[in-house]
Structures are given as structure tokens and as C-alpha cells.
Amino acid sequence: MPMTQVPGGRWGGRSTRCLLSLGAAFLAPQLLGGWANASPLTSVTATARVLVSGLDAPKHITVGPGGELFVAESGSGGRVGGTNCATGPAAGGRGVTTYCEGPTGAIAEVNAAGHKSDFASGLPSVVETDDGEIAGPAAVAFNHGWTAVVYQDELVGPTGANSLKGAAKTTFGTVEIEHAGSAKMVDVARFAATHPQAAATLGGPPHAETTYDSDPYDVTAYGDGFALVDAAANDLLFVSDTGKVSLLARFPTVAQPVPAHAMGNPKPITIDGQAVPTAVAVGPDGALYVSTLSGVPSEPGTARVYRVVPGKAPTVWASGLTAVTAIAFDGHDLLATELSVGGLLAPPSVPGALVKIGPNGKTIGVVALSGVGKGLFDPTGVAVARNGTVYVSDNGTQVGKAKKPGEILEVTGLS
């Protein structure tokens, strides 16, 4: 069972706060005590307002060809207890649970006034019923008339096929590429299964990870196709407009100390946490930049941003970050959302953050947002419009009917 999670996935290749029932209740205080001291060195101020609310698990945001905003809503899963449900291991290895699929995912289009319409609806979504984790469409990208939509994955088997029910069985683990009304499903999970990981990237708690796991999570236009990150396979892929998949980079594990008794361990141990790539963006220099979440134990300061030039090994461009879920360039600066400034194992009350990284990758400032109460919680997406306005997906693990519904914030005054 994969043990590395991004929002709506599994522990280090895939979910977020809901998985904390495994660790947060009994986590050693020394593992959490450093999070407050892991903040960036400088402070930046900006103003935020809610542009649109009531979204179902909003993930990555994209600025469309006409300047519109597009946000992937992973949905709310499906009805519990029917033939649409599959049985599988629970997050964190807590026995067995059900995964229920329903057509509740969507790609929403939002204009500058906050009006929301469906660009695509009725897309497959899966909820893990024991903890409410949701997986579904995670990102959309556009490239000269081509559209790409990435779907996460669950219950992945050794061949790349999953054991889900309904449309999710054939749609999850793919990137759907559409042009002029014709669509093709590119099987990213199968690529992961036929190109298994090695120890240098696998990482995670002992015996918890598989070499074939897959969880596609972000996509962006690149060349004559798309660059895509697979959070569970710890890689960066190129998908051509013909649907051919090729490997651009793998991201190494990061050694992280775990105090005694923090995760059931009688003595202090070190875990090689997976990188867990969560987002990809094309930089002003033409290189690809990839953010990482950093798998369990997800210590504060262990997330990174890599710079990737195809044909060369990835290099660390920025470090000292925590649980990064999304990135977007604002001129020569890079904006990043941190799911929780305390890492994946921090209590749910610990907020997330928006940070600004300077052109050299070393100057990092936390963005203090006025106008949104206590700040960000579980931010999962960020985009920059042509006029410099910044948009952030917040409450990205929550559905529209939740007490804190999924929403998009409009952020001004950063430039």
C-alpha cells in the first residue's frame, strides 16, 4: 500500500490531513516542535478575497488561453454501499476500507468576476470512505488547441491497472488529451508499472511502498506536448501530442529523522522519504521546475523545488520548504503553496502558506494575507494571471458542502 500522499492520494506518493489519524494522535512532540521555526526568512504582504466558493476538492489552477481560470475539482466521490464501491487497503495500513466512485469530478471555468461554469462535468471521482480522502481530476493544461486533463489513481496493481469500479477503472491513472473533438487516454499508470522505481527514489516506511505505484498529479504545456508529474512514481514525464510517454527525470528520496515512538518505532530511526513531485512549471529560462511534497515523515524544511533540463540530472533549485503542493512563476519569482507549515504529520489546526521564492531559489518569503481570517488551510493550487493577479485553491481537501468549503482566493498586491 503506498504510504506517501498528496491531497487525495496515499502517503508519500499520494494524501493529506485525513491520513493523520495514523500519526498525529500519538506523534512525539519533538517531531512537531520544529515546525514554527521552519518559516521562510522574510515576510511579504498581500491582500486576498474569496473569488469563488463551494468547490469540491479543488486542486491545480490553470490560466486558459483567453485569460480565464480553470480549476480541477476532484469531486466528492460516489454513493457509499453500492456496486460502485471497491474494497482495498485503508490509508496508512489501517485494515480494509471501501473506495466509492461517482461522476462528481469536474473542470470548472471561473471568470474575473467569480462566475463559475462547467468546462467539463460528470468526471470520475473516488472517495475513501474511512477518512474521506478524495481522488479525481487533479489538473488541466492547454497547448495550441490541445487540452490535457490528469486523473489521479487508487488501488493500483502490478500491471498498472486498478481495482476500482465504474468509469474510474479505466480513467484513473491517465492523462486525457483532446484536440478538435477527438480524445485519447494515455495510460500513465501502465508506464509506471513498466518502468518501476529503484531504491534511490522509492523510499518510505519499510515494506509500505511498491515499485509500480502511480498517481498522476499535475500537467503543463511543454514543447509540442505536455510535461506531467506522477506523485507516486516520483518522476517527471513528457507526453507528446501523439500520446507517447517518455521519462524526463526521477527524484531522489530525502533522509528524515524520526524520534523514538513517533511512528511506533522504539528507537530513533531515519526514513528515506519519497520526493513526491506535486507540480511542474516552465520557468522564464525555459527549464522545467518541479515541486515536491516530501513523503512521511514529511519533516518541515524537507520539501524542494528541482530544476530540470531534459537530458540532464535534476538539480535542487530551492530547499527548506515544507509540503509543497503547487507552484507558478510570477515573473522571475516563483510562488509555492505549502499544504501545512508543519508537514504532513502536523495537527490539522496547523495552517498552510503561500511563499515567494526569489530568482536564485534562495530568498524565500512567506506571504502574509490580509482579508482571509486565519490564513490558508490545505492550499492545493496556485496560478498567476497576465495582469499579475494571483489565484490560490484553498481548503483543497474539502467538498463544497463542508464547513470550510473548497474555494479560490484572489490575491493582489504581491508584485
pLDDT tens, position by position, 259-286: 788 777 899 988 899 999 999 999 999 9
Residue 44 contacts residue 384 (beta carbons within 8 Å): no
Question: Which of these, 344, 352, 251, lies nearest to 14 by C-alpha position?
Answer: 344
- Are the C-beta atoms of 285 and 1 separated by less than 8 Å? no
Q: What is the pLDDT at residue 138?
A: 98
CATH 2.120.10.30 applies to domain 3-412: yes
Using pLDDT thresholds of 50, 70 and 90, give the confidence band for residue 258: confident
Tell me the three cell numbers of residue 313.
540530472
Dihedral sign for Cα atoms in the order 173, 263, 29, 298: negative
Helix (H, G, I), strand (E, B) or coil at 190: helix
- Better-predicted residue by pLDDT, 345 or 313: 313
How high is the pLDDT of residue 33? 35
Tell me the CA end-to-end span of the chain in Å, nearest whole number.
43
pLDDT tier, 93 (very low <50, low <70, confident <90, very high otherwise): low
Residues shown for the chain: 415
Confidence grade of residue 242 (pLDDT, cut at 50, 70, 90): very high
What pLDDT is stored for residue 356 in this prediction?
96
Q: Where are the alpha helices (DSSP H) in 77-187?
A: 168-171
Nearest of 327, 338, 348 to residue 301 by alpha carbon: 338
CB 409 within 8 A of CB 367: no
- Judge whether residue 28 has pLDDT over 70: no
For residue 154, pLDDT over 50 is answered with: yes
Q: Which residue has the cell 476500507?
A: 97
